[in-house]
Structure 1
């Protein structure tokens, strides 16, 4: 099972996670779309791979996504090593801060990155655009669908 673990504040990361789930469904492997505030260590143990989807806030991942990693970090040490993962990040103008933060955390779990980071830039850089509900272009959502399908197909074929 592919666990798509997500958090969103303004809708962009939620839309990205939903698009990835559509792609995963096309790839053939089972998947679960799990909000970061309810995902548990047991959910992670049950997963054969992961897609972490969240926004970048102030150069790092959202607090709820960080809380997921904090809550699950110690219970998962030594239990999910070698499993594949990828990331999708909704960012205003950068995304690399969140990307680096997730990569450092999952290094402790010994996960393997199997796809390049998917960073979708919304251009939000002022209070009005940061707070606004996000609508992503079809091309950005297609990138997320493709990533979900890649992960699902790779898991289904045993490539990861």
Structure 2
């Protein structure tokens, strides 16, 4: 691992594509800021699905963006399982590190947002941006289960989160 560079870890889970698009846009936003600042060699952007991410990824990162859908008023099970799997291995080892959140939700998102914020509070992470909730307005079973395409404005909000984290690290 290149210890001279800092690392931004983006962990995401998505079934319908909305949270994946948030994660991808955030990574693009981080790369754009690095390019603007002529700092491409100063930050690694690591993107992991919730199923791939392990405690070592969290420990090696300097900042985090968590992107997940809200399912039935809670963060998705796969994202919760990531936190469950890593929680105690990183507790007291990531205190004060910056983080941001992006939630994909049909109409609310507050349940997932609150749940992830409580976990990040337990890890003693430091929120550095307002959390973003991308509303998809999916309300029927068919719409909820359908593949999602986020608007340019929704992707731009995620790009801003990624850019903010990148700018803080370089």
TM-score (norm 1): 0.96
User: Are 1:54 and 2:68 an aligned pair?
Assistant: yes
Deviations 1:90-119 (A, max 9, x none): 000001110100011111110000000110
Counterpart in 1 of 2:28?
A: 22
The counterpart of 1:90, out of the listed 76, 97, 104, is 104
The counterpart of 2:144, out of the listed 99, 110, 130, is 130
Counterpart in 1 of 2:135?
A: 121
Deviation, 1:155, is: 1.2
Total equivalences in the alignment: 156
Give the alignment's Cα RMSD to 1 decimal.
0.7
Distance in 2, matches of 1:145 and 1:106, equals: 21
Distance in 1, matches of 2:21 and 2:83, equals: 21
Deviations 1:77-102 (A, max 9, x none): 11110000000000000011101000
Distance in 1, matches of 2:75 and 2:15, equals: 11
Q: Which runs of 5+ in 1 are unaligned?
A: none
Distance in 1, matches of 2:86 and 2:33, equals: 27
- Structure 1 segments, 4+ long, off by >3 Å, are none
Deviation, 1:43, is: 0.3
User: Are 1:10 and 2:16 an aligned pair?
Assistant: yes
TM-score (norm 2): 0.90
Q: Which runs of 5+ in 2 are unaligned?
A: 1-6, 35-42
User: Which has the larger Rg?
Assistant: 2
Distance in 2, matches of 1:77 and 1:132, equals: 37
Distance in 1, matches of 2:13 and 2:119, equals: 17
